[in-house]
Chains A and B, each alone.
Chain A
Amino acid sequence: MGIPIPAGVFADSGSIESLPLEGEGPWVVKAQVGVGGRGKAGGIGFASSSADVADFIRKHADTSIKGHKVAGFRIESKVDFVQEVYLSFMVDAAERGIRVMLSAQGGVDIEAHAQHGNAMLSAVAAPEEAALVAAGRQLVEQLPPSLQRPLGDAVEKLARAFLQFDASLLEVNPLFVLPDGGWVAGDMKLGVDENALPRQPALEAVVRSRPAAYRESNFKLDHDFDYVQIDAHGQVGLLTTGAGLSMMLIDEMLQAGRRPYNFCDVRTGQLRGSPTRLIEVLKQFTQGPDIAVVLVNVFAGITDLGEFAQLLLDALDAVPEIKVPVVARLIGNNFAAAKQLIEQSGRPIDVELDLDEALRKAVEQAGVKA
């Protein structure tokens, strides 16, 4: 790829006694967190001695930045630069193209700069290398001559990387322009299009290698449907289908003063006669200490509810740890058969046809334990 980055090493609180420092210093110590605005939040330190480096690590280990746990530190030799530049490529959904943004005033104050006048240059191009590089070069030409050679090279390499990785965002800030006319990517943010992972094996390997950092993405890779834990102390486990309707249910649950545990979209149309997905969601619920009720919602436009009811019962048999009551809101094809099947099972499952009524019952059950 040929994108130059500062020389550096990874360290954590365990390596304080024997820091793997390179060079004579000074160094920059960067807390490793997956969130922007890290510098402003105090996550980057400058150190002129190994004692300073150890100090910074000691102070920031086991802390969080903007709600993200610090996963370690990268120690880099401080870069000697003449200018900090901002350069990014991102999908612009409204313009249906790739937006290139460039500012000669990069660094931690980029947002303030961007809000004050026209420091940020911007253009939209088609998602093809030639078009993207041309658009980027046109922006570079508006900057002082001394910046044009390094930034022209950066535009070319980063545009290629953006396309090669099916990125939704590739942001370099700061991009250091060096005294010798070269450049170094001081920090970089890469946004990945999950839908493209099947043709991006290298990126998929990164996602899989860090299950704690990319929890939802790994769940989707493993199980082929969406599941997001929302509130570790949630009271209502949601076993639902449809992204928009599930989102709406979460909103309405919160409006009614109850805490939903999760979001999910099991996609009943893709169950193919197997309870696997339902079992997977119920297993997640066993991790929720405050779950007092499970709310099932299926609007069956095409799915046969009789078949679904059997899968639900099979799934509940497979996860006997789930002992809380279940409110099952089912509507659509073959409702009568589903209702009969569930009632004959003798399980504490309340079958409902009306969504508001099911919500009310779930809210009531959640309140019993709360």
Chain B
Amino acid sequence: MSAFQLDPNTKVLVQGATGRMGSRHTELMKRYGTHIVGGIAGASGRREGSDTPLFGNCREAVEATGATASVTLVPPMGVLSAVSEALDAGIKLIVSPSEGVPVRDALKAYAMVKERGAFWIGPSTPGLAIPRRMKLGFIPDVSLTPGPLGVMSKSGTLSYETCFRLASRGIGQSAWIGVGGDPVKGLRFAELLPFFQQDVQTRAVLVLGEIGGTEEEELAAEMERLAFDKPVFVLLAGASAPEGVTMGHAGALIQGGRGTIQSKTSALRKAGAEVFTSIGSLVEGVASRDV
């Protein structure tokens, strides 16, 4: 399997490009500069003010346009079949923003993605972006600005807020990837680290993590394995979340003493990362390092 890469000239399909949300986001991505080359109709099929060419299915769309990436703007129960259809058509990068995808569907989708040597981002993610070049999903323009930070995040809103404040201090992003808030997902923090190591635009990495799961601990282990030498700044949310209670993100759940803020903080610090528990202190921390 080739390594994960992002090319701003990637030709992109939108699965679920009609209806109120589908039309709107297709148009917003296009306006941002993304090479949206075609769409597949969603359930309603209604076209609303978009001139994106529509196709009957992914295979026809790929044959006509040469698209290699896709954004699945479909309901959560439709994500597994949308991913399957995209892979069958030869798509190599799939972004799935939907919230509420059953875990079993995510496991099956991941297994298919891996078998085809493709990459999957999400579910439950605002997507990914290269500032001023392309956007797959709906990261808000106001938070996007070119700069040195490679961003990866479990949370949409926390990353919008944090990157907006950093941007207003003149610190932007090289690339921004939302891995999503679900426990079972496509690319995880640790799997994105080699990409940020290779990427010359990236001079430091910003991680928006949260309690639950083991992704932050895996990231710490990968930093040590790669002898990662760019600064890594981590903001962790959920320090005060009670054990056994889920707060919005299915992945943010402490169980049996695992996934705690203490475990994540100590692993990351040991690997050389700077860890913060408030947005303000993180912004100051990044600004003071002059990346």
Contact = CB atoms under 8 A, between A and B. Distances in A.
Among A194, A242, A265, find the residue whose CB has the most chain B CB atoms closer than 10 A.
A242
Contacts of A216: 245-246
B167 interface: no
Interface stretch (A12-20, A246-254, A310-318): A246-254
Contact of A246 (B159, B242, B248, B250): B248
Interface residues of A, number: 45
Interface string A104-133: 000000000000000000000011000000
B102 A127 contact: no
A331 B13 CA distance: 31
Contacts of A369: none
A301 B140 contact: yes
Nearest to A245: B157
Interface string A84-119: 000000010110111000000000000000000000
Interface string A52-74: 00000000000000000000000
B267 interface: no
Interface residues of B, number: 60
> Dominant SS at the A interface?
mixed
B183 A93 contact: yes
B77 A198 contact: yes
A7 interface: no
A251 B239 contact: yes
A195 B181 CA distance: 13
A198 B101 CA distance: 11
A228 B247 contact: yes
A98 B106 CA distance: 12
A242 B235 CA distance: 16
A332 interface: yes
A94 B208 CA distance: 18
A95 to B, nearest CB: 10
A146 interface: no
Interface of A: 36, 91, 93-94, 96-98, 126-127, 163, 166, 168, 193-196, 198-199, 216, 226, 228, 230, 241-248, 250-252, 254-255, 263, 265, 299-302, 331-332, 355-356
